[in-house]
């Protein structure tokens, strides 16, 4: 899954794709680099980010979704807003990705249920302006899996089909570096829920901590590719990344390694 942030304040690319034409071109480039899905977001969820008005979010994402979908690209909409999700579906989005797991907008479950589309349910404890203070766990892997299970059960009770659900541990959301590493090391706890698992570690702060303080954001793409291939090897359904080319090569290398068993 390649990430296209149509925002002025993303932590990962600093507004590089705010222009609609630039966002479309970047999405097509990612597909050429090997992305299976392009995830379009019009609201930053970096720590401390302010919410975006629905009208502004729609203006950012709908033209990009329409253009990519018309080119045969499988598009995911990254939004916490039910109205944006509804408009994105009309524009051609094939997957709904909500970092709040439907908690930020209580209408989201209804939109998801009526659409029948896959729904990515992330672990979430609160909006960006409060999430740092919420990073308290007994055991991050076990606690996150339990909270995701409860969220999935609530969505199913609201009419979302179990087969629609993909789960995401929400790395970096109300989690510090140790929490993120614990969740990744024990990914089987999330896999045990019985739903496909998406891992989105790309360029996040805990990977930056492995690098020199003055390293550019792009330097995080190598550890991202390593985490992505380890997640895939552990059984993840998908990985969400900013640099598709490096992760695609890493995943192809894993596939070649695994194919050696059949030679």
Quote the distance between the C-alpha of residue 73 and its chain's center: 17
Burial class (CB in 10 A: 0-12, 13-18, 19+), 119: buried
* CB of 156 closer than 8 Å to CB of 115: no
What is the residue-level pLDDT of the chain in tens, covering all 263 positions? 999 999 875 655 556 767 889 999 999 999 999 999 999 999 876 665 667 889 999 999 999 999 999 999 999 999 999 999 999 999 999 999 999 999 999 999 999 999 999 999 999 998 777 677 788 999 999 999 999 999 999 999 999 999 999 999 999 999 999 999 999 999 999 999 999 999 999 999 999 999 999 999 999 999 999 999 999 999 999 999 999 999 999 999 999 999 998 86
Parallel/antiparallel/unpaired status of strands 165-168 and 198-199: unpaired
Residues 6+ away with beta carbon under 8 Å from 161: 113, 116
Burial class (CB in 10 A: 0-12, 13-18, 19+), 171: buried
pLDDT at 75: 98
Beta strands in 132-250 (DSSP E): 165-168, 198-199, 238-239
pLDDT at 52: 80
Distance CA 47, CA 176 (A): 12
Helix or strand run (H / E) with residue 154: helix 140-157
Residues designated catalytic: 204, 240
Distance CA 13, CA 6 (A): 10
* CB of 148 closer than 8 Å to CB of 193: yes
pLDDT at 134: 82
Closest by Cα among 65, 154, 77 to 113: 154
Distance CA 134, CA 154 (A): 21
pLDDT at 19: 86
pTM higher than 0.95, yes or no?
A: no
Quote the distance between the C-alpha of residue 124 and its chain's center: 12
Quote the distance between the C-alpha of residue 167 and its chain's center: 10
The DSSP call for residue 46 is S
According to DSSP H, which parts of the chain are helical? 20-32, 54-70, 82-91, 108-115, 140-157, 177-185, 188-191, 205-208, 221-234, 244-259
Count of beta carbons in the 10 Å neighbourhood of residue 127: 19
Count of beta carbons in the 10 Å neighbourhood of residue 210: 13
Burial class (CB in 10 A: 0-12, 13-18, 19+), 52: buried
Parallel/antiparallel/unpaired status of strands 238-239 and 95-98: unpaired
């Amino acid at each position: 899954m390649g990430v296209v942030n149509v925002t002025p304040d993303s932590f990962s690319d600093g507004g590089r794709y705010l222009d609609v034409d630039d966002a479309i071109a970047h999405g097509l480039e990612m597909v050429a680099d090997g992305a299976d899905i392009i995830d379009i977001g019009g609201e930053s969820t970096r720590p401390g980010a302010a919410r975006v008005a629905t009208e502004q979010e729609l203006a950012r994402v709908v033209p990009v979704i329409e253009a990519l979908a018309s080119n045969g690209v499988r598009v995911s909409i990254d939004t916490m807003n039910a109205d944006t999700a509804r408009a994105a579906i009309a524009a051609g989005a094939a997957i709904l990705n909500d970092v709040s797991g439907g908690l930020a907008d209580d209408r989201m479950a209804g939109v998801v249920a009526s659409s029948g589309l896959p729904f990515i349910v992330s672990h979430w404890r609160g909006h960006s302006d409060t999430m740092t203070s919420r990073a308290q766990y007994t055991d991050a892997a076990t606690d996150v899996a339990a909270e995701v299970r409860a969220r999935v059960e609530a969505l199913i009770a609201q009419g979302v089909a179990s087969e629609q659900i993909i789960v995401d541990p929400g790395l970096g959301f109300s989690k510090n570096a140790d929490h993120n590493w614990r969740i990744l090391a024990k990914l089987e706890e999330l896999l045990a829920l019985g739903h496909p698992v998406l891992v989105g570690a790309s360029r996040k702060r805990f990977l930056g901590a492995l690098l020199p303080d003055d390293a550019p954001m792009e330097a995080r793409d190598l550890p991202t590719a390593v985490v992505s291939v380890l997640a895939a090897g552990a059984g993840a359904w998908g990985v969400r990344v900013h640099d598709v080319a490096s992760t695609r090569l890493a995943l192809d290398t894993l596939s070649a390694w695994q194919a050696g068993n059949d030679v």
